[in-house]
Structure 1
Amino acid sequence: MIDEIDRRILMILQDNARTSNADIARAVSMAPSAVLERVRKLERKGVITGYEARIDPSKVDLDLTAFTFVKTDEPVGAIDTGQQLAAVPGVQEVHYVAGTAAYLIKVRAPDTRSLADLLKVIGRLSTVRDTNTTVVLQTVKETGALPLGSLPQPGEE
């Protein structure tokens, strides 16, 4: 379980993972060494799983985003196809879902021709039976940040 100070540290790091320990320490009214120890503890516990740069997809010619439902013939609960989907270049996210499809995947491609090629690769997987793709016209919000500061805590109303 994390306490309020850990939550505040996580919110700061989600906003900018390059924030210095000294700046975090000032924000949470702690010594930098104490903040460093808390961050290391959060890493050891697996709360913080890594750090990454956010890249503007349009600056690296990956302007097209699409979401694809993937139907499979694998048994309920099996995720072998999901692991194969995760290995396909261009697939950003793979979610095992309830409903008529087994997976919902997020893909990025330079253009519709590249998306068609990507869907061919996915369609060649032996357990894939059908796909249904929706192309994104405009993204209003996209984030990997969790809503740590806005959710009620246990016991709060």
Structure 2
Amino acid sequence: MHQKEHISDKIDLEILSLMQENSRISNADIARVLNMAPSAVLERVKKLEQKNIILQYTTRLNPLALNQNLLAYVYVKASNGIGISNTAIELAKIAEVQEVHQIAGDDCFIVKIRTTDSASLLDLLRNTMSKIPDIVITKTTLVLETIKEQQQLVIHQ
């Protein structure tokens, strides 16, 4: 996915923690919290971006507000098995697919899908996923309720 970088600097970890909590926080506000010059914070943030430690700045949307009421996980078994796979690439191209993970076990991939309802999920399975040639079988799990869902990582300082 991305090159492996590690951070051991406590100040960088504090900056990442503040930015992960609020990606819109200004360099001036970070500098104020950490008792640093804003120019020093800006330099550190740019280095974190260049090292691919900060990958992206995003806005988290409420899926229900966009009529994406159904969350499902689809386990996919592919004939081409584990390794670099066109199956994974094709799965990742589907707009409703939010995540594709290669997994250990009987299946090859687990895919996170958000869609409007069960009919649209069925349509996606029948008319899109079924056209990916190496897929042998899928098993779908519907989410009834989400207790916790987050993108934030635990930052140990």
TM-score normalised by the chain length of structure 2: 0.92
Question: What residue is the counterpart of 2:133 in the other structure?
Answer: 126
Residue 95 of structure 2 aligns to a residue whose secondary structure is coil
C-alpha distance in structure 1 between counterparts of 2:132 and 2:90, whole Å? 8
Give the aligned residue type for 2:137: D
Alpha-carbon offset, residue 108 of structure 1:
0.2
Residue 100 of structure 2 aligns to a residue whose secondary structure is strand
Task: Write the mapping of 1:44-123 to structure 2, written as runs, cut at 5 A.
Answer: 44-120=50-126, 121-123=128-130
Say whether the 8 Å CA contact 2:81–2:108 is kept in structure 1.
no
Return 5+ residue gaps in structure 1 as ranges: none
**Residues 76-124 of structure 1: CA deviation (Å, up to 9, x unaligned):** 3132110100001100000011111100010000000001011121122
Correspondence for 1:25 among 25, 31, 37: 31
C-alpha distance in structure 2 between counterparts of 1:75 and 1:60, whole Å? 35
Say whether the 8 Å CA contact 1:79–1:96 is kept in structure 2.
no
**Residues 46-89 of structure 1: CA deviation (Å, up to 9, x unaligned):** 10111111000000110110111000001431321101000011
Question: What residue is the counterpart of 1:11 in the other structure?
Answer: 17
C-alpha distance in structure 2 between counterparts of 1:75 and 1:100, whole Å? 10
Say whether the 8 Å CA contact 1:123–1:131 is kept in structure 2.
no
Runs of 4+ aligned residues of structure 1 deviating over 6 Å after TM superposition are: none
Percent of residue pairs identical: 45
C-alpha distance in structure 1 between counterparts of 2:10 and 2:86, whole Å? 39
Give the aligned residue type for 1:144: Q
Alpha-carbon offset, residue 12 of structure 1:
1.0
Return 5+ residue gaps in structure 2 as ranges: 1-5
Task: Write the mapping of 1:133-148 to structure 2, written as runs, cut at 5 A.
Answer: 133-148=140-155
Give the aligned residue type for 2:43: E
Deviates more, 1:86-95 or 1:117-126: 117-126
